[in-house]
Amino acid sequence: MKRVAVLSVHTSPLEQPGTGDAGGMNVYIVQTATRMARRGVEVEIFTRATSSELPPVAELAPGVKVRHVVAGPFEGLGKEELPGQLCAFTAGVLRAEARHDPGHYDVVHSHYWLSGQVGWLARERWGVPLVHTAHTLAKVKNLALAECDTPEPRMRVIGEEQVVAEADRLVANTDVEAGELIKLYAADPDKVLVVPPGVDLERFTPGDRAAARAALGLRPDAAVLAFVGRIQPLKAPDVLVKAAAELLVRDPGLRSRLVVLIVGGPSGSGMETPRKLVELAAQLGVSDVVRFLPPQGGDALARVYRAADVVAVPSHNESFGLVALEAQACGTPVAAAAVGGLPMAVRDGVSGVLVDGHDPAAWARALGEVALRPAYREELASNAVGHARRFSWDRTTDALLAGYEQARQKFREEVFA
């Protein structure tokens, strides 16, 4: 394996996760691409240019290039409008490859269904296998919509069905996702490969909790509940705010030390009402305990995890839950919704707690049990670190490279059959 083309149409790996369309997929691409490069595999990532100031090619890391493809207006184009620009994007990708000798890329790996549509055509033109990672699936999301959220359009459902049918390998984060691909999309079980995502075990480690709190201006004795991620109905940060209000109803004396950290920016349908969460906190009378922080990266994000007593992941759907792993790697227990891949990311009663449904009262009980019971919290915290260490981006990368080789071998057998 010498060279891999990675397609990420709607979001650039250079963007900060936590706002707009940047999230766990960005982290996944960056971490696996840089590790492939360390193994001697060149990686070229194609993404849509969103500014005229972006260079045609940028270096993400040694051996990893990001190619900015001009497709449609640079700014003001929503993800739902991108299908109309796939022809232009595909032309840019094919044009870049045409400058090289035939066989320049060994495999093309597309992320999200929009990229899969481009990868499908690149596969045919280049004569290389297509490996696809969905990250989220429209049919699954539509089965678990948050209140007032917008259903995924029929166009996306059809597009995903096409990519599933054409891809040589489908990478699923968990056995649950693999089952969804097979049951809901009629995927060939022999083409589905389960590869769990990882966590950066060098950056996300246990640290000085008191120092982390001091850096964030938090009292040493504060009861800190944190949410990290894009602020949109799917991620359900409103559940945490409602649960905090419920905790204060049960114990008014907690108000003096309760802190709810909401770390992230508007995304998806949340872009339409960016102040909705702020208004909800005011309506519930908890504005004084809720603090909003912009998306955090690197060491600043690790600091947030270390400062928290518990990190809440109340998503209505989550293919895996990288936030849950990162928090646990920092020694912080997680309260997560029992959906999607979160039961794999969090060991219920061992590294954190799983909550059925999104009832604020149930979430208040779960969060209170962890944050307000020091001995139980410390037990979970100790186990959380060990659980997170079972996952790493190196393992993910090795599994992906093995999957690429399998796809190449199968592709060759079919071509020369």
Tell me whether residue 387 is annotated as binding.
Answer: no
Tell me whether residue 16 is annotated as binding.
Answer: yes
Tell me whether residue 378 is annotated as binding.
Answer: no
Interaxial angle between packed helices 374-388 and 322-329, expressed in degrees from 0 to 180 and rounded to the nearest 10: 110
Tell me whether residue 24 is annotated as binding.
Answer: yes
Residue 110 and residue 159 in contact, taking contact as beta carbons nearer than 8 Å: no
Tell me whether residue 211 is annotated as binding.
Answer: no
Tell me whether residue 156 is annotated as binding.
Answer: yes
Instruction: For residues 387 and 296, give the distance between their C-alpha atoms in angstroms, rounded to a whole number.
Output: 24
Tell me whether residue 117 is annotated as binding.
Answer: no
Tell me whether residue 141 is annotated as binding.
Answer: no
**Terminal-residue alpha carbon distance, the chain:** 22
> What is the secondary structure of 228-244 as a DSSP string?
ES-BSGGG-HHHHHHHH
Tell me whether residue 375 is annotated as binding.
Answer: no
Tell me whether residue 25 is annotated as binding.
Answer: yes
The helix or strand, by DSSP H or E, that contains position 138, with its residue range, turns out to be: helix 138-143
Tell me whether residue 10 is annotated as binding.
Answer: yes
Instruction: For residues 219 and 206, give the distance between their C-alpha atoms in angstroms, rounded to a whole number.
Output: 19
Tell me whether residue 21 is annotated as binding.
Answer: yes
Tell me whether residue 63 is annotated as binding.
Answer: no
Query: How many Cα atoms occupy the beta-carbon half-sphere of 180 within 13 Å?
Result: 25
Tell me whether residue 296 is annotated as binding.
Answer: yes
Residue 263, classed as helix, strand or coil, is strand
Three-class SS string for 34-100?
A: HHHHHCCCEEEEEEECCCCCCCCEEEEECCEEEEEECCCCCCCCCHHHHHHHHHHHHHHHHHHHHCC
Residue 220 and residue 256 in contact, taking contact as beta carbons nearer than 8 Å: no
Instruction: For residues 364 and 261, give the distance between their C-alpha atoms in angstroms, rounded to a whole number.
Output: 15
Distances (CA, A) of 350 to 27, 129, 156, 163, 385: 26, 41, 38, 38, 11
The helix or strand, by DSSP H or E, that contains position 331, with its residue range, turns out to be: none
Tell me whether residue 318 is annotated as binding.
Answer: yes
Tell me whether residue 237 is annotated as binding.
Answer: no
Can you say which residues are annotated as belonging to the binding site for Mg(2+)? 305-306, 308, 332
Can you say which residues are annotated as belonging to the binding site for UDP-N-acetyl-alpha-D-glucosamine? 16-17, 24, 230, 235, 296, 318, 326
Can you say which residues are annotated as belonging to the binding site for 1D-myo-inositol 3-phosphate? 10, 21-26, 79, 112, 136, 156
Can you say which residues are annotated as belonging to the binding site? 10, 16-17, 21-26, 79, 112, 136, 156, 230, 235, 296, 305-306, 308, 318, 326, 332
